[in-house]
Structure 1
Amino acid sequence: MYKRPEHGEYATYYEPYIALVPEGDIVSTLERQADETVILLKGLSDEQALFRYGKSKWSIKEVLGHMADTERIMAYRLLTIARGDTVPLPGFEENAYVREAGFDREPLENLLANFMAVRASTSALVRSLSEEAWPRTGNANGHLVSVRAIAAMIAGHELHHRKILMERYMGSSGFPGE
């Protein structure tokens, strides 16, 4: 069963994400927070979802697409390590992924559906893990990481970006009203 990861089970730059994750059942956390993110964004128009709080910042659509892409990658890492594969897993360049994805061309409704599909898959995977899988470690992006740390990173990454969406995007004085 899930136990909060300890220092040494992940690269230190993930600490801010992991610190955001509440204690308790990680599957419930993943399911609950996905619903909260969808509730936050589903009332936005496509025009509002194109908002950027700064010239070089991603749009809301791009942030949501980034969240789904990152979760797919992290879930693959989790699966690989949980299944005992010892292959070193590569990093990824998030800005290149966002640039190439064309998220701004997609209707917000489709991006939300994609995000929910990714989260449902992640939740099912995490729910299926054996007790022995949780502490397993592997190498991702040149760093040691445990399965339980990756589950926490996934949850924390979403919480991190949801906070940014609420504060810097939707809380901005320049955010377009309805």
Structure 2
Amino acid sequence: MYKRPNLEEFPEYTRSYIQLLPEGDIIDILGQHLETTSKVFSTVTVEQSGYRYAEGKWALSEVLGHLTDTERIMNYRILRIARGDKNTLQGFDENVYVKEASFHNRKIADILEDYQNVRRSTISLLKGLPQKSLQNKGNANGYDVTVESIAYMIAGHELHHLKIIQEKYIND
């Protein structure tokens, strides 16, 4: 069973993400986010997908692509650390990834399908991990993290971006 990680299990800069999360099973939370994020992005039009709320900010399609890319990388980290890999894992520059991905040239429905597939893969990976591996520690991007904390980072990071989308992009 997963539990909210202790402060020493994740980097300080991710604390605000993890604090956004309600109490509960992280696999259930990720499943709920799958539904919420899918609902939000399934109604985004072509015009809305290219909307940027300010100069230099990502378009909605890029935000969804960023969530997907980040989760893929986090899944890779979970797998390596859960399997006992002690090698330091490199960080990544999300701005370079977004630029190189050209999400703005893809259909939002295709990016959403990719996100959904990655999320289902995340849930499958987490369900299949042995309980003893959840507290395995590794180093990613220069910070010590546990397998369990990475799962919480994924969910908190997504919630962070969903809040920005509601405040800056969709404003219902």
Structure (1 or 2) with the greater helix fraction: 2
Match of 2:56 in 1: 56
In the alignment, structure 1 residue 120 sits paired with structure 2 residue 117: no
Q: How does 1:1-178 map to 2 (within 5 A)?
A: 1-171=1-171
> C-alpha displacement at 1:29, in angstroms?
0.7
Shift >6 Å, 4+ stretches: none
SS of 2:9's equivalent in the other structure is: coil
| TM-score using structure 1 length | 0.94
**Count of equivalent residues:** 172
* CA–CA separation in structure 2 for the residues paired with 1:142 and 1:106: 33
Map Cα deviations across residues 50-78 of structure 1 (whole Å, 9 max, x no partner): 10000110000000000000000011101
Map Cα deviations across residues 15-66 of structure 1 (whole Å, 9 max, x no partner): 0111112211111110111110110121111111110000110000000000
> C-alpha displacement at 1:138, in angstroms?
0.3
Greater mean deviation of Cα atoms: 20-29 or 102-111: 20-29
* CA–CA separation in structure 2 for the residues paired with 1:41 and 1:158: 13
> C-alpha displacement at 1:112, in angstroms?
0.4
Map Cα deviations across residues 76-108 of structure 1 (whole Å, 9 max, x no partner): 101110111111000000000000000001001
SS of 2:54's equivalent in the other structure is: coil
SS of 1:132's equivalent in the other structure is: helix
* CA–CA separation in structure 2 for the residues paired with 1:34 and 1:52: 23
Map Cα deviations across residues 117-150 of structure 1 (whole Å, 9 max, x no partner): 0000000001111110111100000110001100
Gaps of 5+ in 2: none
SS of 2:145's equivalent in the other structure is: strand
> C-alpha displacement at 1:171, in angstroms?
1.7
* CA–CA separation in structure 2 for the residues paired with 1:152 and 1:21: 8
> C-alpha displacement at 1:170, in angstroms?
1.0
- Letter of the structure 2 residue corresponding to residue 114 of structure 1: D
* CA–CA separation in structure 1 for the residues paired with 2:46 and 2:79: 34
SS of 2:139's equivalent in the other structure is: strand
Gaps of 5+ in 1: 173-178
